[in-house]
């Protein structure tokens, strides 16, 4: 077995030992653990025989923990006045969060909740972050993550990308589905009912000239945009894609030779539509 390089206090009165696959001893202090964790406070208040009597002859008693050494070290870094651990992946965060929840380490939980919805994780893995937040009943974090999920197609998200989905309730998942559905319906309605504004704001000299005998007809770029935007918003009810340059350029190419100019001249109109969609309710 090894001794922790960071948690090796000479005046330690208890040793935390990591699991048998990765045995590391952490020489720590009961008073600090008790102050940070009701779990440890209650445990130390009970009479307990040492797990390893031979180890206690020349030192403090040993407490076996089920967690790996890196998880225990991360937890202790939150508890002790040393730099917080560097957590780079959601896999790391998930196991440390499980330990913090198990041992009721409030200070660690507070840090981990903030990290969960940080730019390092929430925008990149919104569905998994939402699932983890729901798993631990982190309501505020679930709300934040739900907004980021708008960039994803819920029904096409592989289960392997969000293993924590198995731990959330049907109610939590239904709330997310309802958010996506209601926002998608409202966003599509904004696009579909914009025709009255188009008459006054969107002009294409070539498309309008062709349609003069039969009255006003929207430019061809708008017809293409409206159709594809409604389809995209039905899957991902956010404006990130439909008002992006690549999406708009495709609509311009689908129109007449003058449609690109018409689209550029419609910038203010399109920005108005974007703002209306962005202002729709975006959290559970």
- Listed in sequence order, the residues at least 6 apart from 62 whose beta carbon sits closer than 8 Å to its beta carbon are 14, 15, 17, 25, 50, 51, 52, 55, 56
| φ and ψ of 203, to 5 deg | -125, 140
- Gap between the Cα atoms of 124 and 118, Å rounded: 10
* pLDDT 10s digits, 132-144: 999 999 999 999 9
- Strand 14-17 to strand 24-28: parallel, antiparallel, or no bridges (unpaired)? antiparallel
Torsion of CA 230, 231, 234, 238, to 10 degrees: -70
Q: Print pLDDT tens along the chain (284 aa).
A: 788 889 999 999 999 999 978 899 999 999 999 999 999 999 998 876 655 555 555 689 999 999 999 999 999 999 999 999 999 999 999 999 999 999 999 999 999 999 999 999 999 999 999 999 999 999 999 999 999 999 999 988 888 889 999 999 999 999 999 999 999 999 999 999 886 677 667 777 777 665 555 556 788 898 899 999 999 999 999 999 999 999 999 999 988 888 888 888 888 899 999 999 999 999 99
């Amino acid at each position: 077995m090894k001794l922790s390089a960071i948690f090796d206090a000479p005046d330690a009165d208890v040793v935390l030992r990591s699991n048998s696959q990765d045995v590391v001893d952490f020489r720590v202090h009961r008073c600090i653990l008790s102050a940070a964790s009701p779990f440890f406070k209650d445990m130390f208040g009970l009479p307990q025989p040492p797990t390893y009597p031979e180890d206690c002859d020349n030192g403090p008693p040993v407490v076996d923990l089920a967690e790996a050494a890196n998880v225990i070290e991360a937890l202790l870094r939150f508890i002790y006045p040393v730099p917080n651990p560097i957590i780079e992946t959601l896999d790391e965060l998930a196991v440390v969060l499980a330990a913090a929840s198990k041992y009721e380490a409030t200070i660690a939980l507070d840090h981990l909740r903030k990290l969960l919805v940080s730019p390092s994780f929430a925008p990149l893995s919104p569905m998994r972050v939402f699932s983890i937040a729901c798993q631990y009943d982190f309501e505020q974090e679930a709300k934040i993550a739900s907004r980021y999920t708008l960039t994803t197609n819920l029904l096409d998200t592989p289960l392997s990308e969000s293993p924590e989905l198995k731990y959330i309730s049907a109610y939590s998942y239904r709330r997310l589905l309802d958010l996506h559905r209601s926002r998608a319906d409202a966003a599509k309605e904004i696009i579909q009912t914009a025709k009255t504004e188009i008459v006054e704001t969107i002009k294409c000299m070539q498309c309008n000239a062709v349609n003069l005998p039969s009255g006003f007809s929207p430019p061809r770029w708008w017809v293409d945009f409206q159709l594809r935007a409604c389809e995209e918003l039905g899957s991902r009810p956010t404006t990130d894609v439909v008002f992006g340059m690549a999406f708009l350029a495709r609509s311009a190419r689908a129109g007449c030779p003058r449609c690109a100019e018409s689209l550029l001249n419609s910038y203010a109109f399109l920005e108005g539509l974007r703002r209306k969609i962005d202002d729709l309710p975006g959290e559970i």
